[in-house]
Structure 1
Amino acid sequence: MSDITIYHNPACGTSRNVLALIRNSGEDPVVIEYLKTPPDRATLVGLILAMGTPVRELLRQKGTPYDELGLGEPQWTDAQLMDFMLQHPILINRPIVVTPLGTRLCRPSEAVLDILPQPQQAAFCKEDGEAVIDANGHRIDKR
């Protein structure tokens, strides 16, 4: 069993790219389709603590009930925001990846490279054709 887990939405291009980058490192991660199998409160809290990010930064706005629920308003506590995420898992931004080197919201998809224990094994292009990894398995510098 892999020591890498991805909280994945197969309908999301970024999430698909991250999963492909993980596999390009030779890993076969545990894939949790979080819309079908949402995390429980303890797991969500653990992920947020491991990422070290504010709860609000994990909220997804696009394609969610974020606006209709008024989640941009400052009155919501972290606990209340997590309640909304648990009630509406689509509000949880993705993909979240857990590895022995850390836990991260991998947006952009290249962010996963910083927490993968194994190097990339081959060239890699995102679904949109953008080259990310060269033929030697090295990250392409975009500067």
Structure 2
Amino acid sequence: MKATIWHNPKCGTSRKTLAILENLSKVELTVVEYLKDPPTREKLAQLYSDAGITPSEGLRVRGTDAKERGLTGADADTVLNAMVDDPILINRPIVETEKGVAICRPQDEVLKLL
């Protein structure tokens, strides 16, 4: 099975999720450090759609200035544009497999995608 993780190595939950994926021999893993190689606006929109959530639900508020920027009540286009401009606003880790997409918080959420 193929899996892609949008990963931030400074995030404990992201590291734990990555460790779960790396320890499964049946997973062909692609790791994207999204702060260095951010997804496109189109890819973000697709990920959130496939996860069944809105961009606002994928917004990282803790540790960011999302509230101060008015993003917590903003429309989907505004949130997506802000995430593309400043990828730290993307909540992580996002994992995509053929079974679906999820923000894996807590890390055990990844098991539902395998």
Amino acid at match of 2:109: A
- 2:30 corresponds to which residue? 30
Cα RMSD, aligned residues only: 1.2
Pairing of 1:104-123 with structure 2 (within 5 A):
104-116=102-114
Q: Is the 8 A contact 2:17 2:110 kept in 1?
A: yes
Alignment pair present for 1:20 and 2:36: no
Structure 2 residue runs without a partner (length 5+): none
- 2:89 corresponds to which residue? 91
Q: CA deviation at 1:28?
A: 4.3
Q: CA deviation at 1:100?
A: 1.3
Q: Secondary structure at the match of 1:103?
A: strand
Name whichever of 7-16 and 76-85 sits farther off: 76-85
Distance 1:71 1:53 in 2: 16
Q: Secondary structure at the match of 2:77?
A: helix
| Larger Rg computed on CA atoms | 1
The superposition leaves residues 85-114 of structure 1 with CA deviations (integer Å, 9 ceiling, x where unpaired) of 111100000000011111111000000011
Pairing of 1:100-139 with structure 2 (within 5 A):
100-116=98-114
TM (normalized to structure 1)? 0.75
Q: Name the structure, 1 or 2, with higher relative contact order (CA <8 Å, separation 6+).
A: 2
The superposition leaves residues 42-65 of structure 1 with CA deviations (integer Å, 9 ceiling, x where unpaired) of 111110111011211100011212
Alignment pair present for 1:6 and 2:5: yes
Q: Higher helix fraction: Structure 1 or Structure 2?
A: 2
Write out the 4+ residue segments of structure 1 that deviate beyond 2 Å after TM superposition.
none
Q: CA deviation at 1:67?
A: 2.5
Number of residue pairs matched by the alignment: 113
Distance 1:78 1:12 in 2: 25
Q: Secondary structure at the match of 1:110?
A: helix
Structure 1 residue runs without a partner (length 5+): 117-143
Distance 1:104 1:92 in 2: 13
TM (normalized to structure 2)? 0.93
Q: Secondary structure at the match of 1:98?
A: strand
Amino acid at match of 1:55: P
Q: Is the 8 A contact 2:66 2:89 kept in 1?
A: yes
